[in-house]
Amino acid sequence: MDVFECIQRRYSYRGPYINTPVPRENLEKIIKAGLSAPSGCNKQTTSFVGLDDHKILNSVTDLIKKNGFGGNTPPAGICVLTQQIPGYSNVYFNIQDYAAAIENMLLAITALGYASCWIEGQITENVETQKHIAEILNIPVEYMVVGFLPVGIPEKEGKRPSYKLASERAWYNVFGVP
Ligand SMILES: Cc1cc2nc3c(=O)[nH]c(=O)nc-3n(C[C@H](O)[C@H](O)[C@H](O)COP(=O)(O)O)c2cc1C
């Protein structure tokens, strides 16, 4: 699968996962894709906790499920952490940094034949959820939990969203000119 096909194949899967474990080497490949993302001023503000221990995964996804997470406990997942380190003076790029890392990982997950979903709103909308996940994973206070990516083989095909037409969002040379 080339990168263009991978980009088109990626979508947010919110259904159940089959019970096949994700080999650690695949989890490492996905995390390496996250580690390789660009970051503002190369501050590398994003960190990752790979999860493949069922008990720990269960505790984490239980907290997220309460907020409406649709799937069962996936066989693996990645918790995304950010540190508020300035790029320069008082300019921060850590949000952009972790967004780039998450997209890299979602593409790696897709390329390996797994499904996932960028779970962020369901974590950051409730500071208690963030705190509880941090406690479970023993995360130091300087790091903020901002995302969770389930990883696994989907039990069924999920629903793909519709996108606005390219002509409504992208133009050439001059705004509004198709
Ligand atoms: C910053 C951000 C936060 C998101 N948070 C959640 C979330 O908490 N739960 C969820 O189910 N999807 C979440 N998503 C996924 C979006 O809903 C999804 O990307 C969007 O509906 C487009 O669908 P697609 O990913 O299938 O293209 C988030 C996506 C982004 C970029």
Whether residue 34 contacts residue 101, with contact meaning beta carbons closer than 8 Å, is answered with yes
Of all atoms in ligand 1, which is nearest to the CA of residue 125? Answer: 8
What residues contact 80, with CB distance under 8 A and at least 6 apart? 34, 46, 47, 48, 98, 101, 102, 145, 146, 147, 148, 149
User: Percent of the chain at pLDDT above 90?
Assistant: 89
- Residue 12 CA to ligand 1 centre (angstroms): 7
pLDDT of residue 66: 64
User: Percent of the chain at pLDDT above 70?
Assistant: 97
pLDDT, tens only, 91-130 = 999 999 999 999 999 999 999 999 999 999 999 999 999 9
pTM above 0.95, yes or no: yes
CA distance 62 to 132: 11
- Residue 56 in 3-state DSSP? helix
Of residues 70 and 144, the one with the higher pLDDT is 144
